[in-house]
Amino acid sequence: MISAIRELRIAGGIREFGRYGQLLYQALRSSTEFSTYRKNLFHEFVKVGYESIPIIFLVGIFTGAVMTLQTAYQLDTDIYPSTIIGSIVVQSLIIELAAVISALVLAGKVGARMSTELGTMRVSEQIDALEAMGFNSVSFLVVPRIAAGILMFPILYTTAAVFGILGGITAGAVDGILPVAEFMEGGRAFFFESDIIFGIIKSFVFGFVITSIACYKGYYAFGGAEGVGNATTRATVLSCIFVLLADFILAALLL
């Protein structure tokens, strides 16, 4: 009995992955139909990018501030120079925290919105109506959302990193832990351009992972309002899991 249930779950997982791959293939083929999704693309730029800046601002500021205070607490010794705090905070933000924490937050904001929108359109038969009128629903609805995620997430990552560093500088100066000049000296000492490239690559991947999973779950939602809620929850949870998995794989391959 247990083995049968396990086999059913494996088969269901394979079927889900195949349908996800099919949707991505259709989206890739439809990406050349720019006139179909041009208006929606710019709309998604605003939704994904501009409207996410306030929460990214807060995430960056407080992540950098807390990171500075925690690092100073852990290194409260004369063995290390105080500038090492700036080095640790800046590198941690650029390589890891600005990308990952922002992605996890945006999985709940951007991913949940996309999944809910598409799920509502699916259960209310709006997607069926588009296809009946001759529209390519994948090109019209899915492509602009995924493209906006891929293109806007690097900008949001950069915003989070910049404000994170500013938050760290401010926390160190206000708390009297570290003067601004020493923080900047430490940050420059171990700053490498390759770290920024790695962070941007991460943000591209995370943007694709979050938006593609959200679109997939919403596009194939069923079961009325309850089904839309379940699809949104699953999209958010899966996005967070696969962001962390992608983070591990990228670190193993590129660092």
Q: What is the predicted pLDDT for the residue at 167?
A: 94
Tell me what pLDDT residue 101 has: 92
- Cα Rg for the chain, rounded, in angstroms? 21
Question: Residue 77 region, left (φ>0) first, then alpha (ψ -120 to 50), else beta?
Answer: beta
What pLDDT is attached to residue 4? Answer: 55
Structure confidence at residue 8 (pLDDT): 57
Walking along the chain (255 residues) 10 residues at a time, the average pLDDT comes out as 61 81 91 85 93 93 93 79 88 92 92 94 90 87 94 94 94 88 88 90 96 94 89 94 95 87
Cα distances (Å, whole numbers) of residue 193 to 167, 190, 251: 21, 10, 16
Cα 119–Cα 223–Cα 142 angle in degrees, nearest 5: 20
At residue 82, the pLDDT reads: 81
Looking from the CA of 149 toward its CB, the CA atoms found within 13 Å total: 27
User: What is the pTM assigned to this prediction?
Assistant: 0.91
